[in-house]
Structure 1
Amino acid sequence: MLNISNNVLNEKVDLSGYKSTQRVFHKRHYKYFNRFLIGSALFGFIVLFLPWTQNVRGKGSLTSLKPDQRPQTIQSPIPGRIEKWYVQEGDFVNKGDTILFISEIKNEYFDPKLVERTGDQIKAKERSVVSYEGKVKALNNQIGALATERGLKLQQAKNKLLQAKLKVQSDSIDLMAAATNLEISERQYDRTVLLQEEGLKAVTDVEEKRLKLQETQAKLISQQNKLLASRNEILNASVAISSVQTAYTDKISKAQSDMYSAQSGQYDSQAQVTKLENQFTNYEMRNDMYYIKAPQSGYINKAIQAGIGETFKEGDKLVGIMPSVYDKAVEMFVAPLDLPLIHKGEKVRIEFDGWPAIVFSGWPNASYGTYGGVVVAVETFISPNGKYRILLAQDSEDQAWPNEIRVGSGANTIALLEDVPIWYELWRQLNGFPPNYYQPNATATKDKK
C-alpha cells in the first residue's frame, strides 16, 4: 500500500482466520522457496561458465555461386518489331531454342534480297580487281618493252657517236696530211720560181707548180670542212643520245603513271571488296539475329516486351530467363565493423525464409533447421547499402540445403567466431564491445613464419 493513512490495517485486521491465508502463509513454503532461489543461483552461476560461440549476424538472399548461373535477361543487339512468340512464361527451353522472332524496322535493311545483291556487288568488284590486275601486267610488259627498246636505241646512238669520233680522228689525220702537202707544194713552188728566175726552169713549170699549190690549198680547206662536219656529227650523236633518253623516259614514265593508276584502282577495288564482304557478313549475321534464342537452358520467367508488333531499341530487355542448373549460394551483408572478423573458409549458419528453424546463435549445435555454409568470397568495396557483401557456399561437411528454396529468397546468416564463456559475452554485450578480433590459425602461422 502507499501508507498514506496513519491507520495500520494489518494491526487491526486478523487474516489468520481465512482459509486461503492458512494455506499460503505456511512456514514450510518459505523453505522450498529458499531452496529454489539457491538452486537457481547455482544453475545461473554454472551457466555463466558454459562456452558460447561469438557470432556476427547478417541478412542476405539466395543466389548462385557462378555469375553465369544467375537470373538474366535476354536483349536484342538490333532494334526491331516483335512478330511471333514461340514460348510462354514458365516454359523450359534448351540452349539454342528460339524464343521469339522479330522483324526489321530500319529502312536500309528492308530489302529482302539485301544479302544476295551484296554478294553480286562483291562478284562485280572482284572481276574489276581481276581487270586491274591484267592492266597492271600489260603496263609492266609495256614498260619492259620500252626499256629494252631504249637500250637498243641508246646503243645505236652510242655507235653513231663512236663512228663520228672515229671519223673526226680520220679527218684530223687527213687535215694534217693536207697541211703537209700544202707545205710541200709551197716549197716546190718557191723553188721552181727561184729556178725560173735563174733561167733553169720554164714559165710553164712555174704555172704547174702554182696550180698544184692552189689545188693543195683547196684540199686543205675541204679537209677542214670535213673535220668540222665530223665534229658536228659528234654533237648531233650526243644530242641524239639525250633525245633518245628523254623520249623513252617520258614514255616509260607515262606507262608507269598508268600502271600506278591501275594499281590504285586495283587496291581501291580490293578495299571495296573487303568492305562489301564485311557488309555481307554483317547482313548474314543480322538475319540470324531476327531469331532470339536462349543463351542457356532454363525457365522463362517473364516476358518484359510483350505483344505482337511492339517495337524496341537495341539493348532493350525482352525476356527474363532463370538457368535450370545452378550452384546455390547466399550473399550476406555485414557492417564495416564486423568485416575484419570474416575470412575465407569460415563456417556460417544460415536460416532460410519460410524454412522452420529454432536458432541459438551461440550454440550452433543446438540449433534446429539451420544449414551450414562456408565463406568463399569477401567483397573489398562497400555496397550501396553501406555494408560489405559476403558470398557463402554450401558446407560439404554439413546437411545439404533444401531443394525447395529458390534464388532470391531471404536468408538470415550467423558467422561463427571464437568460443568464449557466457559471462564474457554478457560483459561484452553490456559494454557494447565488438567480438574478439582474431585471425585464422593458418594465417597466423603464415605470418609467424
Structure 2
Amino acid sequence: MLNVSDNNRINNKTLEKYSAIGLLNKEKHYKILNKIFLVFVTIAVLFLFLPWTQNISGSGAVTTLKPNQRPQTIQSLISGRIEKWYVNEGDYVKAGDTILFISEIKEDYLDPNLVENTKNQMIAKEDAVASYESKVGALDSQMNAINNERNLKSQQAKNKIRQAILKIKSDSMDLEAIKTQIKIANTQFKRAVQLNKEGLKPVTDVEEKRLKLQEIEAKIITQENKLLSSENELINARVEISRINAEYSEKFSKAQSDQYTAQSSKYDTKAQVNKLENQYNNYKIRNGMYYIKAPQNGYVNRALKSGLGENIKEGTPIVSIMPAKYDIAVETYISPNDFPLIQKGEKVRVWFDGWPTIVFSGWPNLSYGTFGGKIVAVENFISDNGKYRVLIAPDEEDKHDWPKQLSIGSGAQTMALLDNVPIWYEIWRTLNGFPPNYYKPATSAEKTKEVSEKK
C-alpha cells in the first residue's frame, strides 16, 4: 500500500527548535573539509616527488670474513678409545695444546714396540743392501781379473802361433836344404858309379857316396816329420786360443750372471727398505695422532663426544672450537630476481638483532642503529634455500664501527642501496612488478676523478 499519510512526514519547523540543527543550517562546513582535502592532496603530491633510495633487502647471520676464522670441529684421524680429557668446555686453548688422548684399538698396531721393531727391520735390510753392494763390487773385480787373465792367455796363445809359424818356416827351409843335398848326393853317387865303371874311382868311393846318399834320404824323412809336427803345433795353438776364449767367456758370463743376481737382490732389498721406511714413518706419525691437539688459538665451545672408554672412528667430530681472533662479516641471502643488481664493492646498510634500530628503507640517512657494509664476495651458485649468498664486510669509510659485542651466528638484516628515484616512480615500479634500476658502484678511479673535479 502507498504511504500517503501525513504522519510520516518530518516537520522541519519542529526540528529548528534544536540549537545543533540551527548551527548546521547557518555554517557551511563543507568549505573547511574542502580546504583540508586540498592541503592533504597537495602534501601527498609533493610527497610523491621526494627522493627515494631504491634498495634490496636480505636477511642472514653474523659470520667471519675468512674461512679459517669460522667455528670448526676437530676430528680424529684414526680410530681409538677415549682415555683422557685435558680441557673443559669454555676453556681457552693455544695452537698445539692437547685436547684429548686416545688409545689404539686396531690389532695391527697394538704392539707397544711396533715402531722400534720396524726400525730394526729397516736397519737389517739396509745392511743387506750394503752386503749386496759389496758382492756386486767383488764380482766386478772378479770380472776385471777374468778379462785380464783372458787377455794374457790370448796373448800367450798368439805368441805360440807365431812361434809355430816361424818353426814351420824354419823346418820348411831345412827340408828344402835336405832336398838340395839329396840332389847333390845323388849326382855325386852317379858320378862315382860312372867313374868306377871307367876305372877312375875305386868301389869304396862308390860305396861311400851311396852311404852318404842314404843318410841324406833318411834326413829328409826326419825333416818332413819335423815339418808336420810344427804344423800340428800351429793347429794346436789356434785350437788353444779358441779354447781360452771359450773358457774365459764362460767364467766371465757366470760372474756377470752372479753380479746381475746380486744387483737384482740389492734392488729388491732396497724396495723392501723403502717399504719398511714408509711403515716406520707411518707408525711414528700414527703415534703422534693419539694426542688430539688444537689447530689454532680459540675457545672450546662444545665437546661432541664425552666420557672415557668410548670408541670413536676416524673422521668423527670430537670438539667444536671457535677461533680467538677473527674478522667479523655478515652473510645474507638475496632473491634471484634481485641478484643481477648486486655488485662486488657495493655499499650496504646492516642492522643486527638485539640492537635498537629505526630503519627507513627509502631514506637511509634518517635510519638509526644501522652500520655501513661493503660487499666483498658474491656466490654465483644458488643455495639450498633458493637464494644467492652474499658476504658483507665492514665499510672502512663508514663513521660507525660495528659493535665488538656481536656474536658469531646472531641474526642480521641487510639493505643494499641502489639508485635514487622519486617516490611516485618507486610506487609505479612496485605496482607493475618491475625490478629496481640497475646501479653500478663507482670504482676507485672514478671516485678519484670525481674528487679532483670537485676541487
| Common topology (TM > 0.5) | yes
How far is the alpha carbon of 1:413 from its aligned partner? 1.2
> How far, CA to CA, are the matches of 1:61 and 1:84 in structure 2?
36
SS in 1 for 2:361: coil
| Gap change, CA 1:289 and 1:18, over 3 Å in 2 | farther
In the alignment, does 2:30 pair up with 1:33?
no
User: Using a 3 Å threshold, how does the CA distance of structure 1 residues 445 and 133 change in structure 2: closer, same or farther?
Assistant: same
Equivalent residue number for residue 116 of structure 1: 116
- The residue number in structure 2 matching 1:417 is 418
User: What per-residue deviation string (whole Å, max 9, x for no partner) do you get for residues 313-345 of structure 1?
Assistant: 222222211112111111122122222211111
Shift of 1:120: 1.5
Call closer, same or farther: CA 1:26–1:46 in 2, change over 3 Å: farther
Q: Which moved more, 1:392-401 or 1:245-254?
A: 245-254
**What residue number does 1:332 align with?**
332
Q: Which residue identity does 2:415 align to in structure 1?
A: I
C-alpha spacing 1:20/1:269, structure 2 compared with 1 (3 Å): farther
Q: Is the 8 A contact 2:345 2:441 kept in 1?
A: no
Partner residue, 2:438: 437
Structure 2 unaligned segments of length 5 or more: list them: 448-455
Counterpart amino acid of residue 169 in structure 1:
K
Instruction: Call closer, same or farther: CA 1:108–1:427 in 2, change over 3 Å.
Output: same
TM-superposed CA distance for 1:236, in Å, is 0.9
How much has 1:408 moved relative to structure 2? 1.7
CA distance in 2, matches of 1:214, 1:19: 202
Distance between the aligned counterparts of 2:290 and 2:154, measured in 1? 70
User: What is residue 98 of structure 2 aligned with on the other side?
Assistant: 98
Name the structure 2 match of 1:287.
287
Conservation of the 8 A alpha-carbon contact between 2:419 and 2:438: no
Q: Distance in 2 between matches of 1:49 and 1:228?
A: 140
SS at match of 1:211: helix
Q: 1:377 to 1:250 in 2, by over 3 A?
A: same
SS in 1 for 2:194: helix
Query: Residues 374 and 236 (structure 1 numbering): CA distance in 2 closer, same or farther, change over 3 Å?
Result: same
C-alpha distance in structure 2 between counterparts of 1:6 and 1:305, whole Å: 96
Q: Hey, what does 1:314 align to over in structure 2?
A: 314
Give the stretch that moved more between structures: 52-61 or 404-413. Answer: 404-413
More displaced stretch, 48-57 vs 354-363: 354-363
Instruction: Identify if the C-alpha distance between structure 1 residues 29 and 90 changes in structure 2 by more than 3 Å, giving closer, same or farther.
Output: farther
Cα pair distance change 1:144/1:92, threshold 3 Å: same
| Equivalent residue number for residue 187 of structure 2 | 187
Letter paired with 2:358: I
Within-5 A mapping of 1:263-282: 263-282=263-282
- Shift in Å at residue 49 of structure 1? 0.9
Q: What secondary structure, in the 3-state scheme, does the structure 1 residue paired with 2:380 have?
A: coil
- Cα deviation for residue 218 of structure 1 reads 1.7
Query: Which SS does the other structure have where 1:55 is aligned?
Result: strand
Over residues 260-315 of structure 1, what are the superposed CA-to-partner deviations in whole Å (9 max), with x where a residue is unaligned? Answer: 22233233333322222222211111111100001111122222222222222222
Structure-2 separation of matches of 1:67 and 1:360: 33
Secondary structure of the corresponding residue to residue 437 of structure 2: coil
**Cα 1:18/1:141, change in 2 over 3 Å:** farther
Give me the TM-score of the superposition, normalised by structure 2.
0.90
Deviation at 1:440, TM superposition (A): 3.2
Pairing of 1:41-440 with structure 2 (within 5 A): 41-398=41-398, 399-440=400-441
TM superposition shift of 1:25: 8.3
Unaligned stretches of 5+ residues in structure 1: none
Give distance in 1, aligned partners of 2:302 and 2:15.
77
**Distance in 2 between residues matched to 1:186 and 1:327, nearest whole Å:** 134
Q: How many Å separate the matches in 2 of 1:250 and 1:263?
A: 20
The code of the aligned residue for 2:155 comes to Q
Structure 1 length as normaliser, TM-score? 0.91
Separation in 1 of the partners of 2:90 and 2:280? 38
Q: Which moved more, 1:311-320 or 1:102-111?
A: 311-320
Question: Percent identity at matched positions?
Answer: 59
- CA 1:391–1:120 in 2, change beyond 3 Å: closer, same or farther? same
Equivalent residue of 1:254, what SS? helix
* Distance 1:159-1:107 versus aligned 2 partners, 3 A rule: same
Residue 215 of structure 1 deviates from its aligned partner by 1.9
Q: Which one-letter code corresponds to 1:35 in the other structure? A: K
> Displacement of 1:73 after TM fit?
1.1
CA distance, structure 1, for counterparts of residue 366 and residue 178 of structure 2: 145
Q: Structure 1 residue 414: deviation in Å?
A: 0.9
User: C-alpha displacement at 1:202, in angstroms?
Assistant: 3.4
**Residues 19-49 of structure 1 deviation map (CA, whole Å, 9 limit, x = unaligned):** 7767888836544433322222111111111
Between 388-397 and 185-194, report the one with greater CA deviation.
185-194
Residue range with higher mean Cα deviation, 417-426 or 186-195: 186-195
Pair 72,23 (structure 1): closer, same or farther in 2 beyond 3 Å: farther
Write the distance in 1 (CA, Å) between the matches of 2:383 and 2:67: 18
Q: How far off its partner does 1:352 sit? A: 1.7
Over 3 Å counting, the alpha-carbon distance change for 1:138 and 1:228 in structure 2 is: same
Of 62-71 and 14-23, more deviation after overlay is shown by 14-23
Separation (CA, whole Å) in 2 of partners of 1:331 and 1:24: 64
Aligned length: 442
> Structure 1 residues 160, 20: CA separation in 2 closer, same or farther (over 3 Å shift)?
farther
SS in 1 for 2:350: strand
C-alpha displacement of 1:175: 1.1
Superposition RMSD in Å: 2.7
Cα drift, residue 98 of structure 1: 0.9
